[in-house]
Amino acid sequence: MQTLNVDLADRSYPIYIGEQLLQSHELLVRHLRSRQVFVVTNDTIAPLYLQPLIELLDGHQVDSVVLPDGEEYKTLETLNRLFDGLLEARHNRTTTVLALGGGVVGDMAGFGAACYQRGVDFIQLPTTLLAMVDSSVGGKTGVNHRLGKNMIGAFYQPRAVIADMSTLETLPARELSAGLAEVIKYGLIADEEFFEWLESNIPDLLAKDPKALAYAVKRSCENKARVVAQDEREGGLRAILNLGHTFGHAIETAQGYGVWLHGEAVAAGMVMAADLSHRRGAISAGELDRLVALLERAHLPVKAPATMTPDDFIRLMGVDKKVLDGRLRLVLLEKMGKALITDDIEPDLLQETFAACRADERDAPPGA
């Protein structure tokens, strides 16, 4: 097992990365404040991992809620089921919420924990690659609103992140690829050496080689923890973690939540950000091609949906949280391995990027 630390003064916490960690009683109880535990999971993950977890916590009061699976259920309505369960089983302020699942479960369980009785402990037990490398770390929690993704939420840090790599054995290939989009993002924004490592090791990652996956998770979490430690509440630097996300959120919203996976939308969005960076002279055509090739090898989309017009993008990017004082702010590349945040966007170049990055109508959408 490897242990990293997210350094946030009195809100610091460990990230444990290893095989079979969900079978370690000692590790699970290490961060519990009382005998009350409330597991939040969904109806795909529950049959795989819930019962062994409940048995491992024998002697505790373990209650659980099994939510419907899907991004479209990441809503305030669904969150009420969590509060119903906590209140019906009389959980008090010393309870600990365990988020067993991917980013959807983690974001909802974390937000639920932030709200329940004005805040109870929670532990992230991520079971997707995306959740292990991104959503379980850093304390962004929340739900979607009809008018925008992740628009209702809170910064609320977990007490620990326990990434049991063995859970990836059951993860579908498409979900693994979606997680790789966020992994590739770290190489692009902050770690060129890691980007090169990914170019050499993508076949091992796709084949779920345990050593390669553990290295990718560790290196991604190190990168994320470093940024979060410097800027927990996204006053500035942390926004670099959103490379590709402004375009990606527009794609997710336009297609309807859950049609494109989050990581898929981020992949196409990263190409758009890199394309615009190239048009601004920050990276070469060869470097843009390297990104496109790596994403394609990871089985990720590299174009926006054919149905989306430039106006769709502008409209949907207008409700993004990164808009300040009516000016669009984007995360772009200063060079390979270094991101920058700018509101100095050339409208003509942006239009060129929309045109260059739109899929052909004959292209199959992701998952087809």
Task: Pick from 96, 157, 167, 242 the residue near ligand NAD by CB under 6 A.
Answer: 167
Please tell me whether residue 102 binds ligand NAD under the rule CB under 6 A: yes
Please report, as a single letter, which amino acid is at residue 177: S
Please tell me whether residue 134 binds ligand GLY under the rule CB under 6 A: yes
Shorter beta-carbon distance to ligand GLY: residue 28 or 105? 105
Contact between residue 12 and residue 6 where contact means Cβ atoms under 8 Å apart: yes
Contacts 24+ apart (CB under 8 A), 348-352: 349/276, 349/279, 349/280, 350/276, 351/310, 352/279
DSSP 8-state secondary structure symbol assigned to residue 334: E
Nearest to 176 by CA among 135, 224, 222, 213: 213
Catalytic residue among 238, 278, 279, 358: 238
238 flagged as catalytic? yes
Q: Quick one: CA dihedral 272, 273, 277, 280, positive or negative?
A: positive
92 flagged as catalytic? no
Q: How far is CA 168 from the centre of its chain?
A: 15
Task: Pick from 2, 12, 94, 170 the residue near ligand NAD by CB under 6 A.
Answer: 170
Q: HSE of 172 in the Cβ direction (CA atoms, 13 Å)?
A: 8
249 flagged as catalytic? yes
Contact between residue 42 and residue 101 where contact means Cβ atoms under 8 Å apart: yes
Residues 130, 136, 139, 141, Cα dihedral to 10°: 70
Shorter beta-carbon distance to ligand NAD: residue 49 or 354? 49
Q: Give the bridge partners for 63, in sequence order.
A: 38
Stretch that binds ligand GLY, among 77-85, 203-211, 236-244, 274-282 (CB under 6 A): 236-244
Q: HSE of 248 in the Cβ direction (CA atoms, 13 Å)?
A: 29
Helix axes 76-88, 103-115, angle to 10 degrees: 60
Catalytic residue among 149, 219, 245, 329: 245
- Tell me how far, at minimum, the Cβ of 55 lies from ligand GLY, in Å: 33
The residue ranges of DSSP E strands in 191-343, in sequence order, are 330-335, 338-342
Contact between residue 40 and residue 82 where contact means Cβ atoms under 8 Å apart: yes
- Tell me how far, at minimum, the Cβ of 135 lies from ligand NAD, in Å: 3
Shorter beta-carbon distance to ligand NAD: residue 107 or 232? 107
Shorter beta-carbon distance to ligand NAD: residue 45 or 283? 45
User: What is the distance between the alpha carbons of residues 25 and 227, in angstroms, rounded to a whole number?
Assistant: 31
Q: How far is CA 246 from the centre of its chain?
A: 14
Stretch that binds ligand NAD, among 54-62, 130-138, 338-346, 356-364 (CB under 6 A): 130-138
80 flagged as catalytic? no
Task: Pick from 36, 144, 150, 242 the residue near ligand GLY by CB under 6 A.
Answer: 242
Which of ligand NAD, ligand GLY, none does residue 242 bind to, with CB < 5 to 8 Å depending on kind?
ligand GLY
Stretch that binds ligand GLY, among 98-106, 145-153, 235-243, 273-281 (CB under 6 A): 235-243
Which of ligand GLY, ligand NAD, none does residue 82 bind to, with CB < 5 to 8 Å depending on kind?
none
By three-state DSSP, how is residue 183 classified? helix
Number of residues that bind ligand NAD (CB under 6 A): 29
Catalytic residue among 71, 175, 182, 232: 182
Catalytic residue among 42, 144, 223, 242: 242
Please tell me whether residue 140 binds ligand NAD under the rule CB under 6 A: yes
Task: Pick from 82, 178, 216, 283 the residue near ligand NAD by CB under 6 A.
Answer: 178
User: What is the distance between the alpha carbons of residues 74 and 275, in angstroms, rounded to a whole number?
Assistant: 31
Q: Among all residues, which ones are annotated catalytic?
A: 118, 140, 182, 224, 234, 238, 242, 245, 249, 262
- Binding residues (CB under 6 A) for ligand NAD: these are 42, 44-45, 48, 69, 71, 74, 101-105, 107, 127-128, 130-131, 134-135, 138, 140, 150, 167, 170-171, 175, 178, 262-263
